[in-house]
């Protein structure tokens, strides 16, 4: 039996179907309250090398994540933001609307 061990670092990437490579490791902001705490957490994550932030509409802190990205000085193309939407945003049109709302956050 062959065992495969993958060593993960902040530089580890996974190739998506479109050829773009996304960092395998990211920082999540679940239960990070909106405001200064989330802003500081994301700023620090960028300082130590994270380039993938995971959030959700439900967390209420997407604006703070966006602000940290804008203020970071890191090229937006080098940062991955993953988010999740509530069940009421399922379906094509609802999902597009939710994406626009998250983007405007």
Q: Which residue numbers in the chain have pLDDT < 70?
A: 1, 103-105
The answer to whether residue 51 is domain-embedded is yes
The one catalytic residue among 59, 92, 97, 103:
59
pLDDT at position 105 is 55
The answer to whether residue 11 is domain-embedded is no
For 63, the domain range is 21-104
Q: What angle do CA 12, 14, 27 make, to 5 degrees?
A: 60
Q: Does residue 59 have an active-site annotation? A: yes
The answer to whether residue 2 is domain-embedded is no
pLDDT at position 27 is 97
Which token pair is 69?
Answer: 């990205």
Q: How many domains does the chain have?
A: 1
Question: Which residues touch 89 (CB under 8 Å, ≥6 apart)?
Answer: 57, 95, 97, 98
pLDDT at position 17 is 97
pLDDT at position 1 is 65
Q: What pTM, to 2 d.p., does this model score?
A: 0.82
The answer to whether residue 53 is domain-embedded is yes
């Amino acid at each position: 039996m062959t065992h495969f061990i993958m060593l993960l670092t902040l530089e580890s990437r996974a190739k998506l179907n479109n050829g773009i490579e996304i960092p395998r490791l990211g920082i999540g902001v679940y239960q990070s309250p909106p405001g200064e705490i989330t802003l500081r957490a994301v700023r620090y994550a960028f300082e130590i090398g994270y380039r993938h932030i995971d959030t959700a509409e439900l967390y209420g802190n997407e604006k703070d994540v966006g602000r940290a990205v804008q203020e970071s000085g890191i090229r937006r193309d080098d940062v991955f933001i993953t988010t999740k939407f509530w069940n009421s945003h399922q379906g094509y049109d609802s999902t597009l609307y939710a994406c626009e709302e998250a983007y405007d956050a």
